[in-house]
C-alpha cells in the first residue's frame, strides 16, 4: 500500500519536555481553578500554550486535552474556530491592519497595501527574520480612532501609511515602541500569557498611555465648555431638569473642581512614567 | 442645523465624567467620583427591590437589542437551588461599535460596581467578564481593577460586611464576532466553539452550565451604579419616556471630531454633528449607520430621527449599539457594503445553512459588481439571497448581514446600477481617506493628545 502524504502532523504529538510540562501544568491548574467547570478554561489554556510556543502546536493541543480530559480532536475543533490562535509560528510582533469598512474607507486599505509592499510579505505571512507577521483584521472597536493598526493587540490609533511603515521599521530595528493606547510592546508570546489570564507584571504597564486620546474625551470636553477643533465654540447645556444656570452640576460636568487641575498636571506631564511610582495592587491574579 | 434652532445642545457625561481626571482607572479616582456609592445603596435594599428599581428606571440593554435590563434580572428563578451566573458581554465587535472598549479602558470600576449590584440582585456569587481577546490594554486594566476590588473587600467573601460573596473571573476570548451573540458567548465560555444555541430555553432558565444566567452588555451594567446612587427619577428625567437615560454615542468616519458623546437618549445625528464640528470640511453626508453595520443604513433624510429605541425603529432601522458611522459623498456604497458582507461571511459560524451559504454567495455577487463585472439580474439575486437569510437564519448575525444590502439597495440602487452600466466603480478610494484633503482639523499629534489623556 502506498503511503499518501496528507501534510498532517504525525499523531500522537510529542509531549512537552518534562520541565516545560510541569511549569505549564501548574499554570493550567491555576486557570482551571477559576471556573466552576474545568472545560471553561480551554480558551485560556490555548492562549497559554500559544504563550509557550508562539502558536498552537499539536503538542500544545495534546497538553490542553490532557489537562481537561478531552480528546485532541475536541481541542482542535475549538482551536480552529477562533482566529487568534495561530496554527503555525509567526512574528514576534503581530501587526493587524483593520480593513473592515470604516477603517478601510478612511485609509486602512492603503495602509495594508503599502505595509505588505514595504515588508515584502502578504496577508498572514511572516518576515524572514521572524520579527513581523501581518494580517488584515476585522473591526477592533476603535472606529473613532480610524484608521487603526494593532500590534500584539495594543492600539496604534490614527495611522497613516507613513506612520505604519515607521512603526514596523522601529520594531525590526529593536527600538522601543509605545502604542497610543496600551503599554510598551512586549513580544507576542508575552501578550499571549496576559490573554491566558496572567496579569502583566511589568512595573507601571497598567498606567501607561493615559485614559484615552482626544476622541474618547471629545464629548466630555464639550460638556466642560471647552472647544473642539473646527467647532467654532458650540454651546452645550445640561439636561432640562438639571438647571441651565448651573451646567457644572452633578451628572453633567461634575469633577471640574479640586482633582481636575492637579489631574491634568499629573496625567499629562509625563504619563509614561507617572504610573511607575505609585502603581496600586497590580500583581494580584484577577480572580 | 437650520438657523431657527438654538445653538445649545445636550450632553450628559455620566459614565465618561471621570475620564479626564488623574488615572481614572484606579479605585481611588473612581471613589472621588462617588464610585461604589451605588453599591452601598443597593446593599441597603432587599435584592428584589434592586431589581424593581432598575426595572422602574426603565434601563434598556445597550448592546443592541434594547431589552429591559431589570426584566432580564427578574426572569431568573429564585430559590431554585441552582447556582446563578452573571456574564458580562464585553465582546464588542459589531463593526462601527467602539463604546465599551474606551469605557473599560478609562473606568473599569464602574463595570465592577455594576456587576456586584447585579449579582446581589439576582443572587449570584460568581460572575464573568467575557472580553474579546484583541484588546489587551483593556484586559490589563480589568485584571488590575478586579485585583484592586478584591484588596478593598469589594469582591470575595462578605463584601463590605454584607454577608454577600462574589468572585469575578475575567475571561479573554480568542477572536470570533459571533461570540457577541449571548448564547454563542455562553458556549464559548464553556470552552466550546462559539455557536448560538436554540432558544428556548433562554439563558435566564438554562444559561451557563445550564443554570439560570443573566447576560448583559458592559454599558448596561455600567449604567446601574448611577441609577442606584442618584435614583430612578433622575434617570427617567433624561432621555425620552420609553427610552429613558443617558448613553454613549460613538461618532466615527468622515466627521471633524470623531469620538464618544454621552447624551440623553433621543438626541439626533444633526445635533451631534452640530456640536462636534460636523461632517469633515468641504464634504457632505451620504450615508450612516445608527447602531453598527447590522442596522439598516440611513441617509441625510434621517438627520432628525431621534436616536432612541422607538425613533430609530420607526424610521426603519435599529438603535443597535449607537455606533454612528458617517460616510461622505466620496464613499462608494457598493464598496462599503461589500466589505461588511465579507465580514459577515468570515464571521458566520457555519451552524446554519442560510447564513453560511448565503453570506458566501452575497460576497461573490458584490465583489463582481464592485469590480464592474456584474450582470443583469445581479441586484435581484442579491435581494433574493438576502431575503433567504433574513429571518431564516439561526441567529441575528444573518439578519445583520442582510441589513446593509437591503437598505443600501433601497437608498442607492442607482449607484449599483451605475456599476453595472459603466462596468467599473465610479469612485476614487483615495478621496475617502483621512489624509485626502490634508490633515483633518480635528486631528491632533500624539504629543498633543497626551495632554488630554
Question: Is residue B3 predicted with pLDDT exceeding 60?
Answer: no
Whether B135 and B33 map to the same domain: the answer is yes
Whether B51 and B128 map to the same domain: the answer is yes
CA-nearest residue to B433 within chain A is A106
Question: Is residue B98 predicted with pLDDT exceeding 50?
Answer: yes
Q: What is the mean pLDDT of residues A146-158?
A: 98
User: Looking at residue B87, what is its pLDDT?
Assistant: 98
Label residue A217 exposed, middle or buried (CB < 10 Å: 0-12, 13-18, 19+): buried
Instruction: Work out the minimum CA distance from A3 to partner chain B, whole angstroms.
Output: 33
Whether B117 and B175 map to the same domain: the answer is yes
Whether B268 and B217 map to the same domain: the answer is no
Q: Are B281 and A238 a contacting pair, CB within 8 Å?
A: no
A263 touches chain B (CB under 8 A): yes
Please tell me which of the candidates A105, A183, A216 has its beta carbon nearest to residue B102.
A216
Q: Contact A209/B10, CB-based, under 8 Å?
A: no
Determine, yes or no, domain membership for B118: yes
Whether B166 and B301 map to the same domain: the answer is no
Q: Contact B257/A230, CB-based, under 8 Å?
A: yes
Determine, yes or no, domain membership for B1: no
CATH number at residue B210: 3.40.50.11540
Distance separating alpha carbons of residues B138 and B131, to the nearest angstrom? 9
pLDDT band (50, 70, 90) for residue A270: very low
Instruction: Work out the minimum CA distance from B397 to partner chain A, whole angstroms.
Output: 15
Q: Are B172 and B179 a contacting pair, CB within 8 Å?
A: no
DSSP state of B28: H
Please confirm whether the linkage preceding B342 is cis (ω < 30° from 0).
no
Please confirm whether the linkage preceding A273 is cis (ω < 30° from 0).
no
Whether B279 and B375 map to the same domain: the answer is no
Determine, yes or no, domain membership for B444: no
DSSP string, A16-79: PPHHHHHHHHHHHHHHHTTSSSGGGGHHHHHHHHHHHHSS--HHHHHHHHHHHT--HHHHHHHH
Q: What is the mean pLDDT of residues B182-193?
A: 98
User: Looking at residue A229, what is its pLDDT?
Assistant: 87
CA-nearest residue to B335 within chain A is A101
Residue A123 neighbours by CB distance under 10 Å: 12
Determine, yes or no, domain membership for B12: no
Q: Are A79 and A88 a contacting pair, CB within 8 Å?
A: no
Which strands sit side by side in the sheet containing A132-137, from one edge to the other?
A125-126, A132-137, A93-98, A149-151, A154-156
Distance separating alpha carbons of residues B125 and B115, to the nearest angstrom? 11
Q: Is A203 helix (H, G, I), strand (E, B) or coil?
A: coil
Residues 213-242 of A with CB under 8 A from B: 213-224, 228-232, 234-241
Whether B123 and B209 map to the same domain: the answer is yes
Total domain count for chain B?
3
Determine, yes or no, domain membership for B183: yes
Whether B60 and B171 map to the same domain: the answer is yes
- Give the best residue of B1, B29, B134, B167 to mutate against chain A (max A CB count within 10 A): B134
Q: What is the mean pLDDT of residues B246-272?
A: 97
Report the relative pairing of strands A93-98 and B126-131 from DSSP bridges. unpaired
User: Looking at residue A174, what is its pLDDT?
Assistant: 95
pLDDT band (50, 70, 90) for residue A10: confident
Each residue of B398-419: pLDDT tens digit?
999 999 999 999 999 999 999 9
Whether B39 and B183 map to the same domain: the answer is yes
Residues in chain A: 287
Residues of B in contact with A231 (CB under 8 A): 256-257, 275-277
ipTM of this predicted complex? 0.94
Distance separating alpha carbons of residues A215 and B280, to the nearest angstrom? 15
Each residue of A36-60: pLDDT tens digit?
999 999 999 999 999 999 999 999 9
Q: Is A93 helix (H, G, I), strand (E, B) or coil?
A: strand
Q: Are B293 and B252 a contacting pair, CB within 8 Å?
A: no
> A252 phi and psi, to 5 degrees?
-110, -60
Each residue of B312-330: pLDDT tens digit?
999 999 999 999 999 999 9
Grid cell digits, residue B419: 456599476
Q: Are A238 and B12 a contacting pair, CB within 8 Å?
A: yes
> Residue for cell digits 426595572?
B55
pLDDT band (50, 70, 90) for residue B440: low
CA-nearest residue to A271 within chain B is B450
Q: Contact A219/B92, CB-based, under 8 Å?
A: no
Is the Cα torsion angle B187, A284, B98, B244 positive or negative in sign? positive
User: Looking at residue A237, what is its pLDDT?
Assistant: 67
Question: Is residue B441 predicted with pLDDT exceeding 80?
Answer: no
Residue A166 neighbours by CB distance under 10 Å: 15
Distance separating alpha carbons of residues B52 and B58, to the nearest angstrom? 10
> A98 phi and psi, to 5 degrees?
-70, 125
Whether B307 and B344 map to the same domain: the answer is no
DSSP state of B199: S
Domain ranges of chain A: 18-79, 93-207
Nearest to A261 by CA among B20, B453, B447, B12: B20
Determine, yes or no, domain membership for B351: yes
Question: Is residue B11 predicted with pLDDT exceeding 50?
Answer: yes
Distance separating alpha carbons of residues B451 and B282, to the nearest angstrom? 29
> A139 phi and psi, to 5 degrees?
-50, 125
pTM for this prediction = 0.91
Q: What is the mean pLDDT of residues B26-34?
A: 98
pLDDT band (50, 70, 90) for residue A239: low
> Residue for cell digits 471553561?
A40
Domain with B364, as residue range(s), is: 333-426
Residues in chain B: 453
Average pLDDT value over all residues in chain B: 95
Listed residues B185, B216, B232: the one ending a domain: B232
Question: Is residue A151 predicted with pLDDT exceeding 60?
Answer: yes
Distance separating alpha carbons of residues B13 and A286, to the nearest angstrom? 29
What are the beta bridge partners of residue B252?
B325
Q: Contact B21/A77, CB-based, under 8 Å?
A: no
Q: Looking at the domain A18-79, which fold is it?
A: Arc Repressor Mutant, subunit A (1.10.10)
Q: Would you report the helix, strand and coil content of chain A in percent, each value rounded to 5?
A: 45, 10, 50
Q: What is the mean pLDDT of residues B390-405?
A: 96
Whether B266 and B191 map to the same domain: the answer is no
Question: Is residue B205 predicted with pLDDT exceeding 90?
Answer: yes
Question: Is residue B443 predicted with pLDDT exceeding 90?
Answer: no
Please tell me which of the candidates B33, B433, B444 has its beta carbon nearest to residue A110.
B433
Each residue of B120-145: pLDDT tens digit?
999 999 999 999 999 999 999 999 99
Question: Is residue A230 predicted with pLDDT exceeding 90?
Answer: no
User: Looking at residue B438, what is its pLDDT?
Assistant: 80
User: Looking at residue B56, what is its pLDDT?
Assistant: 98
DSSP string, B243-296: SBSEEEEEEEESBSS-EEEEEETT--HHHHHHHHT-BSTT--EEEEESSSTTSP
Q: Contact A105/B143, CB-based, under 8 Å?
A: no
Each residue of A71-106: pLDDT tens digit?
999 999 999 999 999 999 999 999 999 999 999 999
DSSP string, B412-434: HHHHHHHHHHHTS----GGGGST
What are the beta bridge partners of residue A94?
A133
Question: Is residue A64 predicted with pLDDT exceeding 60?
Answer: yes
Which residues are within 8 A (CB) of A221 and not within 5 positions of it... i.e. 6 or more apart?
A228, B20, B452
Distance separating alpha carbons of residues A50 and A63, to the nearest angstrom? 11
Distance separating alpha carbons of residues A147 and B429, to the nearest angstrom? 14
Question: Is residue A183 predicted with pLDDT exceeding 90?
Answer: yes
Residues of A in contact with B142 (CB under 8 A): 286
Distances, alpha carbon A72 to alpha carbons A12, A26, A95, A193, in Å: 9, 20, 30, 22
Question: Is residue B272 predicted with pLDDT exceeding 80?
Answer: yes
Q: Is B382 helix (H, G, I), strand (E, B) or coil?
A: helix
The helix-helix angle for A42-53 and A188-196 (nearest 10°) equals: 160
Question: Is residue B445 predicted with pLDDT exceeding 50?
Answer: no
DSSP state of A107: I
Question: Is residue B446 predicted with pLDDT exceeding 80?
Answer: no
Q: Are B262 and B246 a contacting pair, CB within 8 Å?
A: yes
pLDDT band (50, 70, 90) for residue B451: very low
Q: Contact B261/A235, CB-based, under 8 Å?
A: no
Instruction: Work out the minimum CA distance from A54 to partner chain B, whole angstroms.
Output: 14
Determine, yes or no, domain membership for B45: yes
Whether B241 and B378 map to the same domain: the answer is no
Grid cell digits, residue A217: 474625551
Q: Contact A106/B444, CB-based, under 8 Å?
A: no
Report the relative pairing of strands B126-131 and B246-253 from DSSP bridges. unpaired
Distance separating alpha carbons of residues B435 and A107, to the nearest angstrom? 8
Determine, yes or no, domain membership for B191: yes
Which residues are within 8 A (CB) of B2 and not within 5 positions of it... i.e. 6 or more apart?
none
∠ CA B266-B267-B270, nearest 5°, is 140
Nearest to B253 by CA among A13, A175, A105, A237: A105
Please confirm whether the linkage preceding B149 is cis (ω < 30° from 0).
no
The helix-helix angle for B269-276 and A214-223 (nearest 10°) equals: 90
Which residues are within 8 A (CB) of A61 and not within 5 positions of it... i.e. 6 or more apart?
A13, A49, A72, A75, A76, A79
Q: Are B301 and B78 a contacting pair, CB within 8 Å?
A: no
Q: Contact B137/A155, CB-based, under 8 Å?
A: yes
Q: Contact B97/A68, CB-based, under 8 Å?
A: no
> B214 phi and psi, to 5 degrees?
-105, 130
- Phi and psi based region of residue B86 (left: phi greater than 0; alpha: psi -120 to 50; beta: remaining): beta
DSSP state of B17: T
Q: Are B133 and A268 a contacting pair, CB within 8 Å?
A: no
Average pLDDT value over all residues in chain A: 85
Distance separating alpha carbons of residues A205 and A226, to the nearest angstrom? 30
User: Looking at residue A11, what is its pLDDT?
Assistant: 79
Q: Looking at the domain A93-207, which fold is it?
A: Glutaredoxin (3.40.30)
Question: Is residue A231 predicted with pLDDT exceeding 90?
Answer: no
Q: What is the mean pLDDT of residues A122-140?
A: 97
Distance separating alpha carbons of residues B341 and A112, to the nearest angstrom? 19
Grid cell digits, residue B345: 461571511
CATH number at residue B262: 3.10.20.600
Q: Are A234 and B9 a contacting pair, CB within 8 Å?
A: yes
Write out A235-286 in H/E/C secondary structure: CEECCHHHCCCCCCCCCCCCCCCCHHHHHHHHHHHCHHHHHHHCCCCCCCCC
Listed residues B212, B232, B252: the one ending a domain: B232
Please tell me which of the candidates A100, A212, A219 has its beta carbon nearest to residue B105.
A212
Question: Is residue A285 predicted with pLDDT exceeding 60?
Answer: no
> Residue for cell digits 503599502?
A114
pLDDT band (50, 70, 90) for residue A5: confident
User: Looking at residue A234, what is its pLDDT?
Assistant: 65
Question: Is residue B362 predicted with pLDDT exceeding 50?
Answer: yes
Amino acid at each position: 500500500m502506498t503511503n499518501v502524504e496528507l501534510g498532517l502532523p504525525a499523531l500522537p504529538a510529542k509531549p512537552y519536555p518534562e520541565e516545560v510540562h510541569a511549569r505549564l501544568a501548574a499554570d493550567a491548574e491555576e486557570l482551571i481553578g477559576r471556573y466552576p467547570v474545568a472545560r471553561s478554561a480551554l480558551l485560556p489554556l490555548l492562549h497559554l500554550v500559544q504563550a509557550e510556543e508562539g502558536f498552537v502546536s499539536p503538542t500544545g493541543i495534546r497538553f490542553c486535552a490532557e489537562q481537561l480530559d478531552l480528546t485532541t480532536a475536541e481541542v482542535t475543533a475549538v482551536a480552529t474556530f477562533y482566529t487568534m490562535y495561530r496554527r503555525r509560528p509567526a512574528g514576534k510582533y503581530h501587526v493587524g491592519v483593520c480593513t473592515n469598512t470604516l477603517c478601510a474607507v478612511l485609509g486602512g486599505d492603503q495602509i495594508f497595501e503599502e505595509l505588505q509592499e514595504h515588508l515584502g510579505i502578504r496577508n498572514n505571512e511572516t518576515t524572514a527574520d521572524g520579527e513581523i507577521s501581518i494580517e488584515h483584521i476585522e473591526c477592533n472597536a476603535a472606529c473613532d480612532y480610524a484608521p487603526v493598526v494593532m500590534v500584539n493587540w495594543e492600539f496604534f490609533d490614527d495611522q497613516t501609511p507613513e506612520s505604519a511603515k515607521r512603526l514596523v521599521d522601529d520594531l525590526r530595528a529593536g527600538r522601543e515602541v509605545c502604542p497610543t493606547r496600551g503599554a510598551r510592546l512586549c513580544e507576542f508570546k508575552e501578550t499571549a500569557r496576559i490573554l491566558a489570564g496572567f496579569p502583566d507584571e511589568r512595573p507601571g504597564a497598567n498606567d501607561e498611555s493615559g485614559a484615552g486620546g482626544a476622541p474618547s474625551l471629545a464629548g466630555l470636553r464639550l460638556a466642560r465648555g471647552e472647544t473642539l477643533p473646527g467647532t467654532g465654540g458650540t454651546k452645550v447645556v445640561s439636561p432640562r431638569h438639571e438647571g441651565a444656570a448651573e451646567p457644572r452640576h452633578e451628572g453633567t460636568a461634575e469633577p471640574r473642581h479640586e482633582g481636575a487641575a492637579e489631574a491634568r498636571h499629573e496625567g499629562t506631564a509625563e504619563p509614561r512614567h507617572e504610573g511607575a511610582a505609585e502603581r496600586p495592587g497590580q500583581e494580584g491574579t484577577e480572580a | 442645523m437650520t438657523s431657527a434652532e438654538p445653538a445649545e445642545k445636550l450632553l450628559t457625561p455620566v459614565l465618561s465624567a471621570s475620564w479626564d481626571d488623574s488615572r481614572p482607572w484606579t479605585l481611588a479616582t473612581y471613589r472621588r467620583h462617588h464610585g461604589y456609592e451605588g453599591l452601598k445603596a443597593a446593599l441597603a435594599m432587599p435584592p428584589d427591590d434592586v431589581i424593581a428599581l432598575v426595572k422602574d428606571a426603565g434601563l434598556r440593554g445597550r448592546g443592541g437589542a434594547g431589552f429591559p435590563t431589570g426584566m432580564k434580572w427578574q426572569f431568573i428563578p429564585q430559590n431554585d437551588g441552582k447556582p446563578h451566573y452573571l456574564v458580562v458581554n464585553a465582546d464588542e465587535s459589531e463593526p462601527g461599535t467602539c463604546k465599551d472598549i474606551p469605557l473599560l479602558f478609562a473606568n473599569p470600576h464602574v463595570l465592577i460596581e455594576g456587576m456586584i449590584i447585579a449579582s446581589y440582585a439576582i443572587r449570584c456569587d460568581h460572575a464573568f467578564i467575557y472580553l474579546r481577546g484583541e484588546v489587551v490594554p483593556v484586559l490589563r486594566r480589568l485584571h488590575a481593577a478586579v485585583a484592586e476590588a478584591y484588596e478593598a473587600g469589594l469582591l470575595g467573601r462578605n463584601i463590605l460586611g454584607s454577608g454577600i460573596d462574589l468572585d469575578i473571573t475575567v475571561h479573554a476570548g480568542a477572536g470570533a464576532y459571533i461570540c457577541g451573540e449571548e448564547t454563542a458567548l455562553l458556549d464559548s465560555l464553556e470552552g466550546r466553539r462559539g455557536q448560538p444555541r436554540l432558544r428556548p430555553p433562554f439563558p435566564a432558565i438554562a444559561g451557563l452550565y445550564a443554570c439560570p444566567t443573566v447576560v448583559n452588555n458592559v454599558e448596561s451594567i455600567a449604567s446601574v451604579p448611577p441609577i442606584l446612587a442618584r435614583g430612578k427619577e433622575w434617570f427617567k428625567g433624561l432621555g425620552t419616556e420609553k427610552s429613558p437615560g443617558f448613553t454613549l454615542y460613538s461618532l466615527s468616519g468622515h466627521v471633524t471630531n470623531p469620538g464618544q458623546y454621552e447624551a440623553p437618549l433621543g438626541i439626533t445625528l444633526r445635533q451631534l454633528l452640530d456640536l462636534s464640528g460636523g461632517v469633515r470640511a468641504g464634504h457632505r453626508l451620504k450615508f450612516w449607520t445608527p447602531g453598527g453595520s447590522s442596522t439598516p443604513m440611513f441617509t441625510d433624510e434621517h438627520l432628525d430621527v431621534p436616536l432612541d429605541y422607538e425613533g430609530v425603529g420607526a424610521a426603519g432601522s435599529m438603535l443597535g449599539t449607537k455606533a454612528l458611522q458617517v460616510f461622505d459623498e466620496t464613499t462608494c456604497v457598493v464598496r462599503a457594503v461589500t466589505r461588511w458582507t465579507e465580514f459577515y461571511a468570515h464571521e458566520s459560524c457555519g451552524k446554519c445553512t442560510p447564513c453560511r451559504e448565503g453570506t458566501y454567495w452575497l460576497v461573490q455577487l458584490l465583489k463582481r459588481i464592485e469590480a464592474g463585472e456584474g450582470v443583469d439580474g445581479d441586484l435581484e439575486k442579491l435581494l433574493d439571497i438576502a431575503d433567504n437569510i433574513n429571518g431564516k437564519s439561526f441567529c441575528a448575525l444573518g439578519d445583520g448581514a442582510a441589513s446593509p444590502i437591503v437598505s443600501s439597495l433601497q437608498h442607492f440602487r442607482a449607484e449599483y446600477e451605475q456599476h453595472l452600466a459603466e462596468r467599473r466603480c465610479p469612485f476614487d478610494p483615495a478621496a475617502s481617506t483621512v489624509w485626502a484633503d490634508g490633515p483633518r482639523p480635528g486631528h491632533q499629534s500624539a504629543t498633543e493628545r497626551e495632554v488630554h489623556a
